[in-house]
Amino acid sequence: MLGLYLHVPFCAAICNYCTFNRGLFDAGLKTQYLEALEREIRLAGEGSPADTIYFGGGTPSLLAPADVAGLLLACRDAFAVSRDVEITLEANPETVTAARLAGYREAGVTRVSFGVQSFRDEELRRLSRLHSADCARTAVTEARVAGFDNISLDLMMWLPEQRLDQWLDSIDALVAVGPEHASLYLLELYPNAPLKEDMARAGWSQAPDADAADMYLEGLRRLDDAGYRQYEISNVSRPGRECRHNLKYWQDGEWLGFGCGAHSTRANARWKNVASTDDYIERMRAGRPTASERRELSPQVHLEEALFTGLRLAEGLDLAAILKRYGVDVLARYGPAPEPFVEMGLLIYHADHLALTRRGMLLSNEVFGVFIDASVR
């Protein structure tokens, strides 16, 4: 079944480390954007079955519940949305109230994913986030009261001035709050990030690389102890509460993305909408295509992508499924190339699966390189 991704490119303020496709919220622009988004959904729909919908951003919780309800109605009109659909909405803690969360629930949202990033106020301030740790706790409590029984929290590690103990404080605070799901990301400092200047000015540093590895491994160990199960490099959940939408990205599934900058993958093709909000609205108004890049996936590229994304999963690559779908025996095709990583303890074979170990997850890009077979492209 298809996953549907809806991009909401608006934020109340721009965080100093952010590379996402977003801009400042503007009520007039939002109205125009929602019209365009709804039109794109309705035009794309041909009744195909869909079982996940994901509002990503930006900050989707800047949309009013009625906006979300309108978009969901368009999805239901245009696609055969299954009865047990998972509908996720990303939310920033400072944007929600009890009433707003109840409104999302009423609109049909089943899962809320809060961008918490840290439970330490000084770390949040360094990231120029608008919320505090208490604000995040309150948002989760209000989401529970509104009836959400599927909540995810994002945390970021390797923050300026953060050391292992401080990172583990945030992990402990997350466990105390008790979400069903958590995503752990490593802060990536892109070259022109304003955060880089802030760090230089204030003399903030990141911990050494080896400490970042410890943060990852120790954080996951604490989550193991608390009963969470790691199912992907950056994601853990209570059993059965994996994000069904994101699993489509890692399990070689198909999805349609709507809105500026959204990606789609379907029927051996991949395409991406124009990134600019204005350009996207303009094109939808003029009836011009919104996709700026489209490429057909050759069988080899499709296979490679299935290998990379499948290896991100803790259960690893299902070698029998790859053979069935692509007619490729991975072990025969890549021969002894993965062996050095097996010997180093970064890759492991188990029950017809090839999987990264946790240490292998830290070095996943090096391991993925084994499966790029330029000669057969």
Parallel/antiparallel/unpaired status of strands 347-350 and 353-356: antiparallel
Q: How far is the CB of 25 from ligand SF4 (least distance, A)?
A: 10
Angle at which helix 98-107 crosses helix 133-145, to 10 degrees, equals: 50
Mark the segment that binds ligand SF4 (CB under 6 A) among 53-61, 182-190, 316-324, 360-368.
Answer: 53-61
Q: Does 92 bind ligand SF4 (CB under 6 A)?
A: yes
The count of residues in the chain is 377
* Contacts with 200 (C-beta within 8 Å, 6 or more apart), sequence order: none
Helix (H) / strand (E) element for 73: namely helix 65-78
* 96-125 positions binding ligand SF4, by CB under 6 A: 115
Measured between alpha carbons, how far is residue 257 from residues 69, 157, 280, 320 in Å? Answer: 18, 28, 13, 29
Q: Does 259 bind ligand SF4 (CB under 6 A)?
A: no
Query: Residue from 5, 45, 50, 59 that binds ligand SF4 (CB under 6 A)?
Result: 59
Residues that bind ligand SF4 (rule: CB under 6 A) add up to a total of: 11
Q: How far is the CB of 160 from ligand SF4 (least distance, A)?
A: 15
Q: Does 63 bind ligand SF4 (CB under 6 A)?
A: no
Mark the segment that binds ligand SF4 (CB under 6 A) among 54-62, 70-78, 221-229, 313-321.
Answer: 54-62
Q: Does 24 bind ligand SF4 (CB under 6 A)?
A: no
Nearer to ligand SF4, 94 or 161 (CB): 94
Q: Does 11 bind ligand SF4 (CB under 6 A)?
A: yes
User: How many angstroms from the chain centroid is the CA of residue 294?
Assistant: 22
What values do phi and psi take at 314, rounded to 5?
A: -60, -35
Q: Does 351 bind ligand SF4 (CB under 6 A)?
A: no
- What is the C-alpha separation between 117 and 166, in angstroms, rounded? 13
Binding site for ligand SF4 (CB under 6 A): 11, 14-15, 18, 20, 22, 57-59, 92, 115
